[in-house]
């Protein structure tokens, strides 16, 4: 995770960003702290990336890389405003001793990649349509040695896979069908017949931008309907308030890069 110490909405690179809407940075830090404390309270170890002035979106740490089995496929951001973030993430992973694979193709890390380790022997779901380019899917497959399933995003509000789909345990996902092309919806139905299906209200509340340890699902407190669906499916919803960070087009998952050993 990376503190929103320098968080601001200084440009608009997704439909959620409005440069005329003021950001309360102190509140953003307070909400982010609560998220971090929630993860620690659930028994997880949180590593911190040092924020850098001039990179207001660094708080969205999920976009800096994608980690599977101790190997990191690095990010190459689509927009120049975020490009310098990639070097900070690279340095972090190298300092940790992780195997780092530098990208040649445009991709935004866990923004557009999700890993489901026990689905069909270990499956990477990869989004494209707005940020990550399709050639990055093949590059990720070569880098990480896991089959990659390409899913096309068709609604600009769901510009990253992680605002439309999330793994909720080692074999299952939750997703909003309306974010995907008809063919991608059919693929998801085939791969995950028991998936939790979110509706438009869940998705618009950034409910799908969540993290799960297989039992506890940490999600945006606005997504009350989705919390109910997850509870009914046997998970424990853990709501957190992230209204300030939503102004940049992100929520729980965007703030968390998962380190898979």
pLDDT, tens only, 68-95: 999 999 999 999 999 999 999 999 999 9
User: Does 17 fall in a domain?
Assistant: no
Q: How sure is the predictor about 186, in pLDDT bands with cuts at 50, 70 and 90?
A: very high
Tell me the catalytic residues: 160, 254
Give the mean model confidence (pLDDT) for residues 36-57: 97
Residue 51 falls within a domain, yes or no? Answer: yes
The pLDDT assigned to 144 comes to: 97
Is the residue at 229 inside a domain?
Answer: yes
Q: What is the pLDDT of residues 91-111, one digit of tens each?
A: 999 999 999 999 999 999 999
Would 54 be classed as within a structural domain?
A: yes
Considering the domain boundaries, does residue 71 fall inside one?
yes
pLDDT of residue 222: 97
What the block records as the tokens of 128 is 């494209």
The answer to whether 233 touches 211, Cβ cutoff 8 Å, is: no
pLDDT at 225 over 90: yes
Please report the DSSP string for 91-144 in residue order.
Answer: HHHHHHT-EEE--SS-B-GGGTEEEETTSTTSEEEEEESSSS-HHHHHHHHHHH
How high does pLDDT run on average in the chain? 97
Asked whether the predicted pLDDT for residue 152 surpasses 90, the reply is yes
Rounded to 5°, the CA angle 71-206-215 comes to 60
Average confidence (pLDDT) over 3-19: 93
Note the pLDDT of residue 261.
86
- How many domains does one find in the chain? 1
Output the pLDDT for position 40.
98
Is position 14 within any domain? no
Element (H, E) at 224: helix 224-232
What pLDDT, on a 0 to 100 scale, did the predictor assign at position 13?
A: 86
Domain annotation covers residue 13: no
Looking at residue 128, which CATH number applies to its domain?
Answer: 3.75.10.10
> Which of 38, 31, 29, 85 has the alpha carbon at shortest distance from 62?
85
Q: What span, in angstroms and rounded, lies between the C-alpha atoms of 116 and 125?
A: 8
Token pair of 242 as six digits = 């992230």
Mean pLDDT of all residues in 144-164: 97
Q: Tell me whether residue 121 is in a domain.
A: yes
Which pLDDT score, from 0 to 100, does residue 191 have? 98
Q: How far from the centroid of its chain's Cα atoms is residue 215's Cα?
A: 18
Domain that holds residue 112: 25-255
């Amino acid at each position: 995770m990376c503190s929103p110490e320098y968080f601001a909405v200084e440009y608009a690179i997704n439909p959620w960003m409005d440069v005329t809407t003021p950001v309360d940075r102190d509140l953003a830090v307070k909400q982010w702290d609560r998220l971090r404390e929630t993860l620690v309270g659930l028994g997880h170890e949180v590593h911190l990336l040092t924020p850098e002035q001039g990179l207001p979106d660094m708080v969205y740490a999920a976009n800096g890389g994608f980690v599977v089995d101790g190997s990191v496929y690095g990010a190459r951001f689509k927009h120049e405003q975020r490009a310098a973030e990639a070097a900070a993430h690279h340095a972090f992973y190298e300092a940790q001793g992780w195997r780092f694979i530098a990208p040649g193709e445009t991709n935004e890390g866990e923004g557009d990649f999700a890993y489901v380790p026990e689905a069909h022997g270990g499956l990477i779901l990869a989004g494209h349509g707005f940020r990550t380019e399709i050639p990055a899917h093949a590059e990720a497959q070569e880098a990480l040695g896991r089959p990659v399933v390409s899913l096309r995003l068709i609604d600009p509000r769901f510009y990253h896979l992680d605002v439309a789909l999330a793994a909720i345990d080692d074999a299952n996902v939750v997703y909003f069908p309306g974010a995907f092309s008809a063919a991608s919806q059919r693929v998801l139905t085939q791969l995950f017949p028991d998936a939790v299906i979110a509706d438009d209200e869940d998705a618009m509340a950034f409910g799908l931008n969540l993290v799960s340890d297989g039992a506890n699902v940490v999600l945006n407190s606005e997504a009350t309907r989705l919390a109910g669906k997850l509870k009914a499916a046997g998970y424990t919803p853990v709501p957190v308030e992230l209204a300030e960070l939503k102004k940049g087009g992100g929520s729980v998952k965007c703030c968390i890069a998962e380190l898979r050993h």
